[in-house]
Amino acid sequence: VNNKVNLQEQVRKLKEQKNAVILAHYYQEPEIQEVADFIGDSLELAKKAAQTTADIIVFAGVHFMAETAKILNPSKKVLLPDLKAGCSLADSCPPDAFRKLKEKYPDHAVVTYINCSAEIKTLSDIVCTSSNAERIINSIPKEKPIIFAPDKNLGRYLMEKTGRKMLLWDGACIVHEAFSLDKLLEVYKQHPSAMIIAHPESEDHILKVANYVGSTSGMLHYVKSSEHDTFIVATEAGILYQMQKDVPHKTLIPAPAKEDNTCACSECAFMKMNTLQKLYNCLKNEDPEIILEKELMEKAHKPIKKMMELS
């Protein structure tokens, strides 16, 4: 038998036996998305994690996402197929350095993008995702100064959108900073009727030429509801799988990366550390598991709960 189909069958069986739910991010490989109970962006998956009645959550995504699921479900077992599936953006904000910045500006409200470690979340007043960031920032009283971390590109974009000045942490995502403006414009020349759409983690010069800037779910919605039929997509290329399913007759072109990598587009290598085989293994062995200290979970839960209440 075909190994993939066989593995998928076994994953589905184990999932039933163990009352497990599989949450997969849009950036996961199609063969993982196919066995998932829910596919979504980080906000949608956090909401699913908060609602689930399963005993085990298998999180096919990166570490901070699985951590968030654990924080929302301290008594459940949360598994991540590969514990090394990290995030360059989360890593760009180490807790000690961030604590120092926070101490220097004690009067500032701390807003953190969900792409950060649980420890950074414990230092935050409120968490946001790219889908709700504007609303979260607007919820903070006008006179209150803000520290925004860790993504400087999203932070700069939000400053423009909200008119708020914010102190930005100097972090970024390698995947979203990999797009080449020159190459993007070359592709655009060949498809002059295309709409350029971009995730706000992308650099300013990319956002400036984009027709639409939005979160993962925002971009999916835009492409579905737009009357245009060609799109150049500046975000992680994994999104194209769901997007093409939504709009089978439209043309989707991944924005080209600066360096020619294997797909000439930008893929998150951390996300791709999860494989169908590792997913199967972790469900079978119930390992690797996300383990967090109780106190850390309680502290990190507060700013996530505040976000959930506002979104």
Binding residues for [4Fe-4S] cluster: 87, 173, 268
Residue 133 makes contact with ligand SF4 by CB under 6 A: no
Tokens for 54, please give them.
């399963």
Contacts for 269 with CB less than 8 Å, ≥ 6 apart: none
Position among 41, 82, 177, 203 found at the interface with ligand CIZ (CB under 6 A): 41
Could you tell me the smallest distance in angstroms from the CB atom of residue 165 to ligand CIZ?
24
Cβ pair 166, 148 in contact under 8 A: yes
Could you tell me the smallest distance in angstroms from the CB atom of residue 133 to ligand CIZ?
10
- Considering only residues 249 to 278 of the shown chain, the ones binding ligand SF4 according to CB under 6 A are 268, 270-271
Residue 129 makes contact with ligand CIZ by CB under 6 A: yes
Residue 28 makes contact with ligand SF4 by CB under 6 A: no
Cβ pair 197, 223 in contact under 8 A: yes
Residue 199 makes contact with ligand CIZ by CB under 6 A: yes
Radius of gyration of the chain (CA): 19
**Tokens 């972090």 — which residue?**
171
- As a whole number of angstroms, the distance between CA 69 and CA 76 comes to 9
Burial of 124 (0-12, 13-18, 19+ CB in 10 A): buried
Q: Choose the stretch contacting ligand SF4; rule: CB under 6 A; options: 71-79, 86-94, 155-163, 220-228.
A: 86-94
Site string for ligand CIZ, 70-109 (x = CB under 6 A): ----------------------------------------
Could you tell me the smallest distance in angstroms from the CB atom of residue 38 to ligand CIZ?
13
Q: Before 81, cis peptide (omega within 30)?
A: no
Residue 112 makes contact with ligand CIZ by CB under 6 A: no
- As a whole number of angstroms, the distance between CA 7 and CA 111 comes to 41
Find which of ligand CIZ, ligand SF4, none residue 88 binds, CB within 5 to 8 Å per kind: ligand SF4
- b/e map of 50-80 (b: 16 or more CB within 10 Å)? eebebebbbbbbbbbbbbbbbbbbeebbbbb
Residues making contact with ligand CIZ (CB under 6 A) = 41-42, 115, 129-130, 173, 199, 201, 215-216, 236
